[in-house]
Chains A and B, each alone.
Chain A
Amino acid sequence: MEILVCVKRVPDTSENEIELNNAGNDIDRDDLVYSVNEWDNYAVEEAIQIVDKVGGSVTVVSVGNDESEEVVRREMAMGAEKGLLLSDDAFENSDGRGVAAILKAAVEKGSYDLIMTGAQADAGAGEIGGMLAAMLDYPYASLVNTIEVQEGKLTVGREIEGGNQEMNEIDLPCVLSIQTGINEPRYVGIRGIRKVASVEIPTLGTADLGLDAASVGDAGAKVKRLDYFVPDTGEGAEMLEGSTEEIIGKLIELLKAKGGLK
């Protein structure tokens, strides 16, 4: 099975506090630690496990800038054979549709049975997989948390509300968006990274992909983020202040009063 996994380089929210910059129009990007989008990492692991079972190869692709190459390489180190970077000034400020259009062009340059994305990334939109599938006219399943390979099709479980799972049969080729927890992504050590350090990762731009620059990037975007802000949400929590001992004293009194201590 030939599998393409779409990954994104994002600020790592477990390593950073996301705050506004001084101008208040963007997040503060100084000293941000970036990593691969967590959902995408599960997708790459799943793709590698499928190929280990049924054969084939995994290609990792990212729409981004030069710095995204490091993320593609890190994911390749998990066991993906090939990497692709889709990068062009014309891609900047693409909306979801633009990113999906860029990925569609890359898909059509290859021959893939299965395309995976993470269920969502830093913007929390969860849109790329479904858009890409619709553009390709492939069937799609979102929030996938189990995959079983059948002849010409897959049986996939989708995570739905209440801890339940919705089982579906889906014809290949298809697009799946992968939910976290589907597997336990392998650890990538320095040795793994070194192994793929010299593998060439081709960079493809508008011309290579046969894209009309007006259909992607800022020019093609129907949806544009104007700014970031922190909403005034009212009072929020009453913060307990003082020494740790004082805070614990106050907390215990509150817990007693609210029935939180038995």
Chain B
Amino acid sequence: MAQIFTYITHKDQVADDAALELAAAAKQIDADASVTAIVTGSGPDLDAVCNTMAQSYPEVWKFDNEALAYPNAEVIRKLLVNTLPGDAILLMAHDTFGMDLAPGLSIKLDSAFASDVVGFEGTDGSVMNIVRQEYGGMVSAHVSCDISGGAVITVRPGGFPEDENKAAAGRVVDKSGDAGDLSANRRFLEIVAAEVGDVDITKSEVLVSVGRGIEDEDNIEIVQELAEAMGADVSCSRPIVDSKWMEKSRQVGTSGQTVKPKVYLACGISGSFQHLGGLKGNPFVVAINKNTNAPIFQVADVGIEADILDFLPELTEKIGNM
């Protein structure tokens, strides 16, 4: 079988959580694989990450260059095209960087591309069988990939348990000289930090969270009234912010806030993996949704099949009368 590689992102000398999830994913592809981690960056921060990765991977390729100080997908793509073998299987996280890099890379490598993969179900010669989800997680699909010319695969963050075995005692190989031309027609300027809102939902113990099921901006007050009766704060899922019905600072999810409440009331939220990625600390989750196929019911502790527009006002009234 072709060699498996993982691309590791990192920040402030710490590898992303995905680093060890990718190691686990690689083992699901081939339990005996000797997997190589690729780490790019600049200076001493890079060495720290490479040394940590060598605990989990038998080999770590280090690429050190000032042009790699911030990961620019176009630059990393060139580097990988210059250095990966033609039939390589490359795994990376399905995060905002992976989404930027992976599809174009697969074209340049003339490899198969599969994104947001949640499971690997064996390889048959040059056919790799994978599982991914469609329609916001409402259905899953078996997919076959012809990996005879390699594969670029993005793996769902949190979709695989971290590989905690840190006994790889791997070696770090400095490949900086092989990187080649690292110029790009897209240039990183700066990071604009998220705006701070009136309420810090990352500190809230109880959240009443609202999603698309609220249907109309005028209905938001239904949720606010319930939160008030419960002594909770209001948060929301992405469509509510997209519609400009609530501030971005109230959004739970990978592209919003990461919250860790004790109790999370998901009202009319379908529960995409991006939303659930912002819900940490194992809260007690109540899902209220009229669509029982919604993925939120797979992760909730308690589910209620109901239209939130009818159910929430009744709940508010009962709590108010207590």
A interface with B by C-beta (< 8 Å) = 11, 13-14, 17-20, 27, 96-97, 100, 119, 122-131, 133-135, 138-143, 155, 157-171, 174, 180-181, 184, 222-231, 233-234, 236-240, 244, 247-249, 251-252, 254-255, 258-262
The one of B77, B241, B306, B322 that contacts A247, using a Cβ cutoff of 8 Å = B306
Q: Are A244 and B238 in contact (CB under 8 A)?
A: no
The one of B136, B143, B254 that contacts A226, using a Cβ cutoff of 8 Å = B143
Q: How far is the CB of A101 from chain B (nearest CB, A)?
A: 9
Instruction: Give the docked Cα–Cα distance between A157 and B232 (Å).
Output: 33
Q: Tell me whether chain A's interface is mostly helix, strand or loop, or mixed.
A: mixed
Known: A139-B186, A158-B100, A262-B206. A100 touches B262 (CB 8 A): no
Which residue of chain B is the closest to A173 with respect to CB atoms?
A: B185
Q: Are B107 and A139 in contact (CB under 8 A)?
A: no
Q: Tell me whether chain B's interface is mostly helix, strand or loop, or mixed.
A: mixed
Which residue of chain A is the closest to B70 with respect to CB atoms?
A: A166
Q: Are B112 and A223 in contact (CB under 8 A)?
A: yes
Known: A161-B96, A259-B263. A96 touches B103 (CB 8 A): yes
Q: Are A226 and B141 in contact (CB under 8 A)?
A: yes
Q: How far is the CB of A127 from chain B (nearest CB, A)?
A: 4
Which residue of chain A is the closest to B296 with respect to CB atoms?
A: A237
Q: Are B311 and A244 in contact (CB under 8 A)?
A: yes
Which residue of chain A is the closest to B108 with respect to CB atoms?
A: A134
Known: A122-B135, A139-B74, A142-B100. A237 touches B140 (CB 8 A): no
B interface with A by C-beta (< 8 Å) = 73-74, 77, 95-97, 99-108, 111-116, 131-136, 138-146, 149, 184-195, 205-206, 212, 230-232, 238-239, 241-244, 248-249, 251, 254-258, 262-263, 265, 270, 284-287, 291-293, 297-306, 310-311, 314-315, 318-319, 322
Q: Are B107 and A97 in contact (CB under 8 A)?
A: yes
9 residue pairs from A and B, CB less than 8 Å apart: A27-B135, A125-B115, A130-B103, A162-B258, A223-B144, A228-B140, A251-B304, A258-B262, A258-B284
Q: Are A222 and B139 in contact (CB under 8 A)?
A: no
Q: How far is the CB of A229 from chain B (nearest CB, A)?
A: 5
Chain B residues in 8 Å Cβ range of A11? 135
Chain A residues in 8 Å Cβ range of B314? 244, 248
Could you list 5 further interchain pairs (A-B, Cβ under 8 angstroms) beyond the known A96-B113, A254-B286, A260-B232? A19-B138, A167-B190, A222-B149, A227-B142, A231-B131
Which residue of chain B is the closest to A238 with respect to CB atoms?
A: B302
Instruction: Give the docked Cα–Cα distance between A73 and B177 (Å).
Output: 52
Q: Are A17 and B293 in contact (CB under 8 A)?
A: yes
